[in-house]
Amino acid sequence: MPDLPASGVWQVSDYSGMGGFHWRPPIDSLELGIAAGAKSWTMKAPGGSCQCKVKTIAAGKFGGDYAIGDDKGDFEVEPQADGSLKIEFLGQSFSSYGNTRSGGVIVSATKGTPTVHSARPTLLDKNRFFVAVLGNRWFRENGILFGEDPTVARDAKWMVLDPNRHKLTIWEKPGPTSDFVTAGQAQDASVFTNGPMLYNKLGRPATWTDALAYAADGAIRRGATLIPFAHGPGWDDTSKESWTKAAADRYGSIPCGDVTGTSRGINAVAPPPGTNRFGYFGRGQGTGFASYKIGNGNPTGLVEAAGGLYPPVLLGGKFTADGFGRNQWLYWGLAPLQPDAADEVGLKRALEHYAIAMKVEGVAAAAKPVGGLIIALAYNGDGSVVQHLVDAGVTDAVKVDGNDSVLFGHHTKVLWGDAMTDRKRVWLNWGFAFHPY
């Protein structure tokens, strides 16, 4: 019987059974080395990694155990003459074909290079970020994943979704004086955000003077106290009633770029000039990744899209950091998934495993190739933070209205924007939302 070598790394294969049945082992790679003076296994998977001592069961047979996230169990290893390993995972819900041991699934593992995974997806993993997302159990089951990356930027939060499983629509709040945050929560969406910047009816961006006209006797209201205008009011010092009146009579929610929502009959046209100073995000008639576009100017030929965003900072892989400085920002980004010939990060394998997982779960989208993923990133910082999106493989990115206009959440949960000022709650009107198919 061949003995274990002193060291090595083996890539663990999937199990393929009768009738096209596939099963993905709980680990992607098995690494043999020395830890604390004894031989040890290091197991790696998209959900994390773990380590255990090598157990000698009999001549030519060795064992170990793993605990990665919710996956825990034991395995046995038999080295083969060709340098590969035969691995049997114990305690499974079925037995591999021809295996007499109940609950034992046998797969092979061939020598390869180490698999790099973190305990959770993080943008710090750079070009391995989307590989980790594809391997995440929640993402495989739902086609969407939320995460936090406080080491990337202050209050950094991200969302990644599969456009084959979630579809973009443009949403609009029900009335000119409706609460924007509440309207976003009412979408019951997989994810929702704010959208374009706006003009008022005078053809200029909104200012506090639009509401000040409705404050009593030339004063503004902060809480229950009236403060004379001469003391220099701030934008958010007026009462919500004043903002509401201004929104109804003077503001009118005119977008800085065209907004189109075919599924809901939304067709808001931006006034010239100025539309070429902005960017857009949206999708065309299709529903796959290729139908999504980010660009300069107004969206044309798209069925669900909004202009009036900041100019794209990332377009066709070319990154130009903006100079707006530190603030609250939210970007939408497009990340095509195209493994290169070397595929050092294991993207091809991750895509294959993701497709198998969807097939096992009976997800209709399993029949569609995954051309790319869509990401939203919200944080407090400057434009240089977008470099993390570039490093992860995002090729196009555009920023929605920022500062206290940022709204980011899913279903009724608000991740960012619950403290939005009365001014913005009343004046903002349109946003982006994704819903499952």
CATH code of the domain containing 16: 2.40.128
pLDDT tops 90 at residue 167 = yes
Domain span at 185: 123-200+252-436
Q: Are residues 58 and 163 in the same domain?
A: no
Query: Final residue of a domain: which of 49, 78, 111?
Result: 111
Query: Letter for the amino acid at 429?
Result: N
Pair (330, 268) in one structural domain: yes
Amino acid, single-letter form, for residue 203: G
Q: Are residues 151 and 91 in the same domain?
A: no
Mean pLDDT computed over 251-274: 84
Residue 259 lies in a domain: yes
CB 394 within 8 Å of CB 160: no
Task: Give the length of the chain.
Answer: 437
Residues 155 and 263 reside in one and the same domain: yes
Residue 410: CB partners within 8 Å, gap ≥ 6?
146, 159, 189, 190, 191, 192
Inside any domain, residue 218: no
40 with 168, same domain: the answer is: no
Which of 61, 76, 111 is the C-terminal boundary of a domain? Answer: 111
In one letter, which amino acid is 285?
A: Q
Torsion over CA of 226, 232, 238 and 242, rounded to 10 degrees? 100
Distance CA 337, CA 288 (A): 13
Which pLDDT does position 198 carry in this prediction?
86
88-136: per-residue pLDDT in tens? Answer: 999 988 888 888 889 999 999 888 765 544 447 889 889 889 998 998 8
DSSP reduced 3-state for 399? strand
**Model confidence at 271: pLDDT above 70:** yes
Type of residue at 133: V
Residue 71 lies in a domain: yes
Whether residue 431 sits in one domain with residue 310: yes
- Domain-embedded: residue 278: yes
Tell me whether residue 232 is exposed, middle or buried, using C-beta atoms within 10 angstroms of its C-beta: 0 to 12, 13 to 18, 19 or more.
exposed
Task: Give me the pLDDT at residue 435, please.
Answer: 97
Region 147-158: mean pLDDT is: 90
Q: Specify whether 46 is located in the same domain as 183.
A: no
d(CA 369, CA 339): 13
* Span 48-59, average pLDDT: 90
- Contact between 228 and 219 under an 8 Å Cβ cutoff? The reply is yes
- Whether residue 217 lies inside any domain: the answer is no
**Rounded to 5 degrees, what are φ and ψ at 268?**
-105, 125
State which of 22-31, 41-50, 408-417 shows the largest mean pLDDT: 408-417
pTM > 0.75: no
- Mean pLDDT, the chain, rounded, equals 84
> Which comes out higher in pLDDT, residue 392 or 211?
392
Total structural domains within the chain: 2
pLDDT at 359: 85
Distance (Å, whole) CA 114 – CA 89 = 20
Query: So what's the pLDDT on residue 21?
Result: 67
pLDDT value for 233: 41
Residue 321 C-beta-side C-alpha neighbours within 13 Å:
13
Same domain, 158 and 265: yes
216 falls within a domain: no
> What is the predicted pLDDT for the residue at 252?
55
Q: How many CB atoms lie within 10 A of CB 273?
A: 7
144: in domain: yes
Structural element, H or E, at residue 32: strand 29-35
Assess whether 76 and 135 both reside in one domain: no
Q: Respond yes or no on whether the N-terminal peptide bond of residue 273 is cis (omega within 30° of 0).
A: yes
Distance separating alpha carbons of residues 178 and 193, to the nearest angstrom: 16
- Please indicate, yes or no, whether residues 196 and 106 belong to a single structural domain of this protein: no
User: Tell me, what amino acid is at 151?
Assistant: T
Least confident of 117-121, 149-153, 332-336, 412-416: 117-121
Task: Assign 36 a pLDDT band (cuts: 50, 70, 90).
Answer: confident
**Stretch among 31-35, 145-149, 250-254 having the lowest mean pLDDT:** 250-254
Is the alpha carbon torsion for 199, 214, 193, 172 positive or negative?
Answer: negative
Q: Indicate if 53 and 131 belong to the same structural domain.
A: no
- When pLDDT is cut at 50, 70 and 90, the band that residue 227 belongs to is very low
Q: Is residue 93 part of a domain?
A: yes
Give the residue-averaged pLDDT of 61-65. 94
Does one domain contain both 420 and 336? yes
Looking at mean pLDDT, say which of 112-121, 177-186, 274-283 comes out highest.
Answer: 177-186
Mean pLDDT of the region 310-315 = 95
Strand partners, 205: 199
Tokens 């080395």 — which residue? 33
Choose one of 84, 111, 138: the last residue of a domain: 111
- Whether residue 376 contacts residue 333, with contact meaning beta carbons closer than 8 Å, is answered with yes
